[in-house]
A and B are shown apart, each in its own frame.
Chain A
């Protein structure tokens, strides 16, 4: 309705539905490109909360793409990690 444009989708980077939709429509881009352009899903949680919504927006804004075709792509690290712990071995 009235204020859907201003609904925050990505809580970490405070990216709104309006920003995502207009970017997706303008660039007719992949989910990955949409994230890079808007920073949605690139914040602290790595898109854990918003990714499915962002995928849905891509699906609704770009004709002939279905959820089944949006690849499930994750980049490590999938959890926050401090530099000190990377590379340590434990037994």
Chain B
């Protein structure tokens, strides 16, 4: 639904194989050879993680691997850039969790 199928210059997008993956325990459909970020956006998912400390929602910002905002956990491997990683069948993708930095809070309170 969120795909750009027809394009006046680039033409019709090629028919690619559909695969499925999960993001935060929910199953989604993706096209083969696309990035995790593209597959999730095509499914209407913008929030890829929350900030580790404050918990504010984050999505991809630069989409080419510079900003690291789209980092997710892929098959238990942490800090993987969703914008540079190709989604695979049955891949398990998860947002990072919020981990309040207790030491930092203590220092701030002193």
Number of A-B pairs, beta carbon distance below 8 Å:
26
Interface: A42 (CB within 8 A): no
Do residues B53 and A11 form an inter-chain contact, with CB atoms below 8 A? no
| Interface SS of chain B | loop
| Chain B interface extent, by class | 10 to 19
Please tell me if the beta carbons of B66 and A49 are within 8 angstroms of each other in the complex.
yes
Report chain B residues within 8 Å CB of A48: 66-68
Interface residues in B40-96 by Cβ distance below 8 A to A read: 51, 53-54, 56, 58, 61-62, 65-69, 71, 79
**Residues of B contacting A80 with CB < 8 Å?**
68, 79
Closest CB-CB distance, A30 to chain B, in whole Å? 23
Q: Which of B51, B67, B69 contacts A14 (CB 8 A)?
A: B51
CB-CB under 8 A for A45 and B51, given A11-B61, A80-B79? no
Q: Is the CB of A45 within 8 A of B54?
A: no
Distance to closest chain B CB from A38 (angstroms): 12
Contacts of B79 in A (CB 8 A): 44, 80
Residue pair A44, B51 in contact (C-beta under 8 Å) = no
Chain A interface residues (CB < 8 Å from chain B)? 11-12, 14, 44-45, 48-49, 79-80
Could you name 21 residue pairs across A and B whose Cβ atoms are closer than 8 Å? A11-B58, A11-B61, A11-B67, A11-B69, A12-B68, A14-B53, A14-B54, A14-B56, A44-B68, A44-B71, A44-B79, A45-B67, A45-B68, A45-B69, A48-B66, A48-B67, A48-B68, A49-B61, A49-B62, A49-B67, A80-B68
